Structure 1
Amino acid sequence: MHPSHTARTKGLYKVTVDGEGHVIGVEAVTKADITGLGIPGQDTNTTYGAATQAAAGLMSAADKKKLDGVEGGANAYSLPAASATERGGVKTGYAANGKNYPVQLSDEKMYVNVPWSDTNTTYAPFKGATASAAGGSGLVPAPGQGVTTKYLRSDGTWQTPPDSNTWRPVQNVLTSTSTTDALSAAQGKALNDRLKVAETLLDAIVAGGTIVLVDETA
């Protein structure tokens, strides 16, 4: 037989149970009961706003979407402008100026389109002179193998230089009447000595004011 008790509405209660498991007492839980268990008696719930660069907070849906779009291992990097000493970004769009031409792109590859025209000159063979016509400029004929001492003549041919050396026999007589033979070194010295004597006599005659001519054949 269950003991009688007072009916209660739903809520938070403290109950007392006897040894047979019967509820013999019911009391409403008080604030003191709650704080006695170590639970704060005042509401300390904190309301957080969205995080900003200056204040901590909850991540917004937009920030979460942006974060999900960042690849793994990515870091914050700002591409610097390229310089003579640093790798970096460049811009296209340079306008040609004189011989400075802009860089262009094709399938992400760079190239420079330099305008040019063929200015190669074709030369005709060298034209040799003749007795009745002048020669013309051009490429000279190639000398044959072993032709190392010849020269290119004005007629366009390789020729051996003419031998203009003339050997004259030595004449050792001062009284020689030859007009083609050469004097020896000894006769040249003898002739020089005689010229010096004649020069001395001539100076003496001129100094005396009288020139004496002697006929050695008399």
Structure 2
Amino acid sequence: MSAPDTGQMAIEFNKNGIEIKEFRAPLLGSGDPEWVTIEEHGWDELPAENLNMSVKAIKPEMIEDEGDGGLRSLVLRLSSLERSTPGEPHDETSFWELVETEIGITYDDGKITFAAEKTGKQNLKEFVELLVDRGYIGSTDLPVESGHKRYVLNTEPEHKEGDDMVNPEQLAPDIHLETHYSDEMKKKLMNRIVDRFVN
């Protein structure tokens, strides 16, 4: 089977339940793309009523056989998969309207403008907090890269090789945000985070 394209989705069925995966490039394009688990549902959690799928085609990718002939896992590549949560905005326009209303950050023709009365750090922190609070980002989505050796989000306040984050903010018990970036870099990261987790 040919190599997956960036952004392709897959579902893995295993003994623990279902994992939804996406083939992703690093946040700033450094390193090789890899499969990242973006959602997990245990067998006791199904049916997942807030998970809406539209599957156009399914391609079996991997079937692994246990010694007794049982199926250990099955990975299916999908040509289309849509996820939505009732009550959340479903398109980019409504998302940015929510951001402007809640935080004061505006978005116009691809350009982010920070709320003037807040620092760049405050803008970034409140923006990511909104994504976490609304369920767009969870600990299972982490880490999120901001460069070859750095994470903008991680489950611990540290970077890829174990170095401490320079100016971390804890958004949840297992979600830590690095805020030590220039304002322009903060805006680039925000756009990329939206492209990955919202659009």
Q: Choose 1 or 2 for highest CA Rg.
A: 1
Q: TM-score range by the shorter chain?
A: under 0.3
**Greater share of residues in strand:** 2
- Per the normalisation by structure 1, the TM-score is 0.13
**Greater share of residues in helix:** 2
